[in-house]
Amino acid sequence: MAGAKLLLIEDDSATRELIDLLLSKHGYTVFSGADTGEDAIADAKKHQPDLVLMDIYLKDGPEGIDAAKYIREELGIAVIYLTAYHDSVTLRKASETRPYGYVTKPITKDQLFATIELALHTVKIEKERAQLIDEIKTLRGLLPICANCKNIRDDKGYWHEIEEYFTSRSEASFTHGICPKCQKKLYPGYDS
């Protein structure tokens, strides 16, 4: 997906420059330069990329996984790992952060682009799904409501009490009380 914003976190300057060049030539907008987990988080907050490419072992040690976890869980940004390490301990720790891909070094252009495109496609589908769920939770359009008892007719023609109707179609819950107008009508001698 050309034009996607990518954040590249790589502590080896030669590798970073090569990947940055490949991605830029492929039409991605690339932000790079961070080489610590702390800088990675700051750049993710600043640039709000579509995807983060994160080296696991950064300048100060294996803090890439911790930074990726924060970026994924707190900022909601997808992460792909770039690493020379693929031992079972590293893989297990990395998998706990729910990455969108894992590219091992030395990186091949085909593997890199395939992983990025699949991750971006997954991100797009997840965003569309979340938006659809939000739209489903939001009632729209005209709701036929009885002028007398205030029951609501659903799209199949059945009538429901207002509380039942909204509770089954939203995350709303109800509490009951009496408004001042009804209080005067129903309990004329009672003042609050």
Give tens-digit pLDDT for 95-117: 899 999 999 999 999 999 999 99
At 119, is the pLDDT very low, low, confident or very high (cuts 50, 70, 90)?
very high
Q: Which of 113, 16, 5, 108 is nearest to 58 (CA)?
A: 16
At 147, is the pLDDT very low, low, confident or very high (cuts 50, 70, 90)?
confident
Residue-level pLDDT at 188 = 85
Domains along the chain? 5-136 (3.40.50.2300), 141-192 (no CATH)
Per-residue pLDDT, averaged over 121-127, amounts to 94
Q: pTM for the full model?
A: 0.70
The rounded distance, in Å, linking the Cα atoms of 23 and 133 is 33
> Between the CA of residue 183 and those of 74, 110, 149, 151, 187, what are the distances in Å?
48, 72, 18, 21, 5
At 67, is the pLDDT very low, low, confident or very high (cuts 50, 70, 90)?
very high
